[in-house]
Each structure stands twice: as C-alpha cells, then as structure tokens.
Amino acid sequence: MAATVSSERDTVVPPIQRALREGLYAGAIALGLFVLFIGLRTDQNISNELILVQRWLLLALVVIATAVGRFLYVGYAQPAMERAKAEKAKAPAVVAEPGFVRQNFNKIGIVVLLLYPIAMVLAFGFQGSLKWVDNFGIQILIYVMLAWGLNIVVGLAGLLDLGYVAFYAVGAYAYALLGTHFGLSFWILLPAAGCMAAFWGVMLGFPVLRLRGDYLAIVTLAFGEIIRLVIINWREVTNGSAGISGIPKVSFFGLMSFNVSDPNYIAKVLHIAQSGAYYKIFLYYLILALCFLTAFVTIRLRRLPVGRAWEALREDEIACRSLGINTTTTKLTAFATGAMFGGFAGSFFAARQGFVSPESFVFLESAIILAIVVLGGMGSLGGIAVAALVMIGGTEILRELDFLKVVFGPDFTPELYRMLLFGMAMVIVMLWKPRGFVGSREPTAFLKERRAVSGSFTKEGHG
C-alpha cells in the first residue's frame, strides 16, 4: 500500500528520504501487527496458572528488522533493480546463450547421480555415508520416481489425481504380502506390483472417465482414502495399522544376498568387510535405475502417438474426439501407466523399509507428490527432479540445522519449522515462477528446429 502511494511521488522525493519514510511506515505496521503476537506470550507457571510473558526485546528486534529491511529495499535494492532493467532494455536484444550447466543439465545430472554414493563413501566412510545415501539419495529418488509417474497423469494427460499414493500403497502391499507369504523374489514381484497398481489405475479410471476438474480431484482423493482405509481395516490380510514387518530384502539378482546370515552374503562372496552400507548403495542404484526407466519410458511415450494423445487430451478433449482419438482408452492408459510407476516405487519402498503400514500412505504423501509435479513444472522431467530435490532434500536438510540452536538458544527446534519453511518456499516459487521451475514444454517432433513452447500457451488440463 505504501509503495503505491509513494511511487506517484517518485520524481519529487529523493530515494533515501523516501526509503526512510517507508522504513518507518513498515516498522509501524510491523509493530501494530506483532505487538500481541510476539510482544506478549501466554504461558503456564509452576502452579499451572496462565501468565503473560512479555518479550519486548524480541518485538523490538522484529520491528527494527522490518523497518531496516524495507529501508534497504526501497533505498538501494529497488533503484538497483530499476537500473539493471534499464540497462537490459538499452542493451541490444541478444539471445542469451544458455550456460554450460544449463545446456548439459541432463548429462551432468546423470553423472552426479551415478557418482553420488561413491563420493559419499569417500567423504564419510561406509558407515557415515549411510545417512547421505539412504536419507537423502534414496528418499529423494523415490519421490522423483513417484512424481515422474504422477507427471504422466497430471502433467501430460492433465487429469488431476489427488489419490496417487493409493497406487504407491498397492505396490508396497503387493510386494510386502506376496514377499512375506510366498517368499517370491523382488525381481518377480516388481513387475507384478506394477501390473497390480496399473490394474487399480484402470479401476479408478473407469468411474472417473466422465469427471473433470474439481470433481475428478475429489473422487481420486476419495479413492486414495478408500485404499488406505481398506488396508487399515482388513486386518486378516494386511495386519491393520500394525503393518507388515519382516519384508524380504532385495537380492543382487539372486546371486548375492544382503542378509548377513545367508551363505551368499555379499561380504562373504566378495571377501570384504561386513557393512550395512552395501545394501543401501545397492538400493540407491536400484531406485536410480527405476527412475531412469521411468524417464526413458516417459520420454519415449511422449514421442509415440499415445503420449501425443495424452497431451492433446490435456489441451482439448473435444478436439481429440473430433480427430478420432478414443479418449476413454487414452485416459485409461494414462492412469494405468502413471499407476504402474507408482506401483514400482511402492514395491521398492517396501523392500527398502522392510516394513509397511498405512501410516506411510496418507493424503499428505499425495499432496507432496503433486506439489513436486506442480513446482517442477507440469510435464518437465528435469524440473520435477529439481523440485523433488528441493522439497524432499530441503525438508531433510532442515533436520540438520542444529547450529541454529546457537543463534536462537537451546529451546529452538528447527524441525518444528520444517513445514513452515516448506510452505513458504512453495509460495515463493509459485510467485516467482507460476508455471513451476520449467514452465516451457519441449515439442515432441520438429520440422526445422526444436524450440521450447512457452508455458503461456500450454493448458493445465480440465482435471
């Protein structure tokens, strides 16, 4: 509000004076806003009475920070930005050649991903690398795979699916149940879990074929909850909320096992020291391979008629029908393909955890996966991978912020602020890039040259 008033007087008032005034205004507003929030705090004393704690120093700090921030922004940052903009406008319109990193983003990404566990082992040793490979590497890659799978449904076909975690659950329970009861190998159950999730994708797809937008979102949301509730309540099979434990580990294609007690335990076969890190590193490469498979299939499918039909469906369903595209099967294949990758990720998740329970498949998971897709830019694999890194890696790294205790005192627990920061980051990204990190779209075929299609032309789909 203050900014709009002052901008009219831009020419008259010198910037520093204006900045000073705006800073004072901002301070006053902050004082008004925070005097009750920060200045006073309700607490309990030792005899369990409600008391008011006065925190005037903290309030003063916040108010001063706001005022100074506004002063610096109006006085220095704004003129600098305007100057930069003017210079840019003056400079001849040279199409900036994308830098080396941007040009070879995918290749660099692949190399970094391949070398990551090795680097971690070299840096932290086998035991120290566990956290970095497992909590960061595998965790992020699971979400990359889930988001890439959901990207087929939401990003390409434009069908808003809020219950994607259901397919993740189907995959996880398929492996958990078949693996524990029948002792089948992961390498058989992985495709089986994928098929089963795809089947459920079609089961979901049929009733929602006619629905669009909000209605579709609500039905998919309900579907996700139904699956979770069935898992909780069908105790005889799923063991309810207690979950299934003792899920067999993945073997190295049956040649080597990662169970210490087995005769073909990897350390015994290779005559190396015993360590739990081997399994984690193996899992890392396994999920990386699954991610590559997802990416490969997605890229290939986009160039095939079915992928183009998905995107055309997102753009205009009626036009699709007028061109002889069977929108029913097209939608169902999108649901099935997306669900299949969710199922793969689920069975991997079960194998990695060794334990599954309905707790892992709550709506928040669906929301996070969808947020990754939206944040990354619908349809773009690279953007989604970066978004998964930021969202999952970011929330994980916020656990590591113990040094903040030095600043805010020993009471401060950075973990409590994870979700707040998470939400703020999302808001900022959406303001800065409303179409996600990668808003443009790569065309799937070209006559002369491949030019990215600006996000302003692509549609989000009708849901």
Partner 1 sequence: MNATPSSSDFILQVEHLSMKFGGLVAIGDLSFQARRGEITALIGPNGAGKTTVFNCITGFYKPTEGMITLNKRDGSTYLLERLPNHEIPARANVARTFQNIRLFSGMTLLENLLVAQHNKLMKASGYTFLGLFGFPSYRQASAESIELARHWLEKADLVDRADDPAGDLPYGAQRRLEIARAMCTGPELLCLDEPAAGLNPKESAALNELLMDIKNSTSILLIEHDMSVVMQISDHVVVLEYGRKISDGSPQTVRTDPRVIAAYLGVDDEEVEEVLVEVGDEDVIEQLDTGPDSAHGPGNSASMMAGPVSDTVEHADEGERVTVSKGASKAAQVDARAASIASKPQPAAKPAAKSSTAKAAPKKPAAKAPAAKAESASKGKEAAARPEAGKRGGRK
Q: How far is the CB of 113 from partner 1 (least distance, A)?
A: 23
Among positions 219, 316, 353, 363, the unique one binding partner 1 when judged by CB under 8 A: 316
Q: Is 333 or 357 the residue whose CB approaches partner 1 more closely?
A: 333
In three-state secondary structure terms, 51 is strand
Cα 324–chain centre separation: 36
387, 372 Cβ separation under 8 angstroms: yes
Give, in order, the Cα–Cα distances in Å from 127 to each of 121, 123, 260, 399: 8, 11, 16, 19
Compute the distance between CA of residue 291 and CA of residue 385 in angstroms, rounded to an integer: 10
Among positions 55, 308, 418, 462, the unique one binding partner 1 when judged by CB under 8 A: 308
Q: Is 75 or 439 the residue whose CB approaches partner 1 more closely?
A: 439
Taking CB under 8 A as the rule, which mask of x and - marks residues 257-296 in contact with partner 1?
----------------------------------------
| Residues belonging to the chain | 463
β-bridge partners, 54: 40
Among positions 150, 160, 309, 345, the unique one binding partner 1 when judged by CB under 8 A: 309
Q: Is 18 or 441 the residue whose CB approaches partner 1 more closely?
A: 441
Q: How far is the CB of 206 from partner 1 (least distance, A)?
A: 16
Q: How far is the CB of 316 from partner 1 (least distance, A)?
A: 5
Taking CB under 8 A as the rule, which mask of x and - marks residues 441-460 in contact with partner 1?
x-xxxxxxxxx-xx-xxxx-
300 binds partner 1 (CB under 8 A): yes
What token pair was written down for 349? Answer: 């998740």
In three-state secondary structure terms, 459 is coil
Task: Write out the DSSP string of 20-49.
Answer: HHHHHHHHHHHHHHHTTTTSEEEEE-TTS-
Q: How far is the CB of 211 from partner 1 (least distance, A)?
A: 17
Contacts of 407 (CB under 8 A, 6+ apart): none
Q: Is 260 or 453 the residue whose CB approaches partner 1 more closely?
A: 453
What would you report as the CA-atom Rg of the chain, rounded to the nearest whole angstrom? 26
Q: Is 224 or 343 the residue whose CB approaches partner 1 more closely?
A: 343
Q: Is 235 or 321 the residue whose CB approaches partner 1 more closely?
A: 321
In three-state secondary structure terms, 355 is strand
354, 276 Cβ separation under 8 angstroms: no
Query: Which residue stretch of 40-48, 319-327, 403-411, 412-420 sits at the interface with partner 1 (rule: CB under 8 A)?
Result: 319-327
198 binds partner 1 (CB under 8 A): no
Taking CB under 8 A as the rule, which mask of x and - marks residues 321-360 in contact with partner 1?
xxxxxxx-----x---------------------------
Compute the distance between CA of residue 20 and CA of residue 70 in angstroms, rounded to an integer: 9
Give, in order, the Cα–Cα distances in Å from 2 to each of 61, 431, 433: 22, 20, 25
Query: Which residue stretch of 144-152, 212-220, 305-313, 400-408 sits at the interface with partner 1 (rule: CB under 8 A)?
Result: 305-313
Q: Is 60 or 293 the residue whose CB approaches partner 1 more closely?
A: 293
What token pair was written down for 138? Answer: 């595998």
Q: Is 264 or 444 the residue whose CB approaches partner 1 more closely?
A: 444
Q: How far is the CB of 337 from partner 1 (least distance, A)?
A: 9
Q: Which residues of 201-227 are buried (b: 16+ CB within 10 A; e: fewer)?
A: beebbeebeebbeeebbbbbbebbbeb
Q: Is 432 or 446 the residue whose CB approaches partner 1 more closely?
A: 446
Q: Is 158 or 358 the residue whose CB approaches partner 1 more closely?
A: 158
Q: Under rule CB under 8 A, which residues in 382-441 are in contact with partner 1?
A: 441
Q: How far is the CB of 333 from partner 1 (least distance, A)?
A: 8
35, 52 Cβ separation under 8 angstroms: no
Query: Which residue stretch of 43-51, 94-102, 315-323, 415-423 sits at the interface with partner 1 (rule: CB under 8 A)?
Result: 315-323
What token pair was written down for 169? Answer: 């659950």
β-bridge partners, 42: 52
In three-state secondary structure terms, 348 is helix
305 binds partner 1 (CB under 8 A): yes
Q: Is 180 or 327 the residue whose CB approaches partner 1 more closely?
A: 327
Q: How far is the CB of 92 from partner 1 (least distance, A)?
A: 23
3-state SS of 289-326?
Answer: HHHHHHHHHHHHHHHCHHHHHHHHHHHCHHHHHHCCCC
Which residues here bind partner 1, judged by CB under 8 A?
297, 300-301, 304-306, 308-309, 311-312, 314-316, 318-327, 333, 441, 443-451, 453-454, 456-459
